[in-house]
Amino acid sequence: MCRGCRFVNEGHDKFCGGCGSGLVEHTLETKPVGAPKLSITFAPPPEADAAGSEINELFAPVAVTADDSLPSANITQADLDRLFGVGS
């Protein structure tokens, strides 16, 4: 793999097939890994301690993730409009 552009070089050339830079003779060949895990969590701000308050509804604990082992939330356009005060 090229240290400059991270191109995976299949052969044993002296130059990278991606950017043309010189390659180190004995490099560790690796395959690209999947996309990094994405995890976004919304939680109520400290001032939202009254049970059932509107701000608690807006910031209900939600986990949005690309990791299949964690629960994900279905966030609708209506949820986003309410969160950002659209149409109020």
pLDDT, tens digit, for every residue of 30-53? 555 666 666 666 665 555 555 555
* pTM > 0.85: yes or no: no
62 touches 75 (CB < 8 A): yes
- pLDDT in the model for residue 52: 52
Q: For residues 65 and 51, give the distance between their C-alpha atoms in angstroms, rounded to a whole number.
A: 27
Please choose, from the candidates 6, 23, 27, 3, the residue with its C-alpha nearest in 3D space to the C-alpha of residue 14.
Answer: 23
Q: For residues 37 and 55, give the distance between their C-alpha atoms in angstroms, rounded to a whole number.
A: 28
Least confident of 35-39, 72-76, 78-82: 35-39
pLDDT value at 80 more than 50: yes
pLDDT value at 3 more than 50: yes
CA gyration radius, the chain: 23
Q: Which residue type sits at 44?
A: P
Residue 15 is classified by DSSP as B
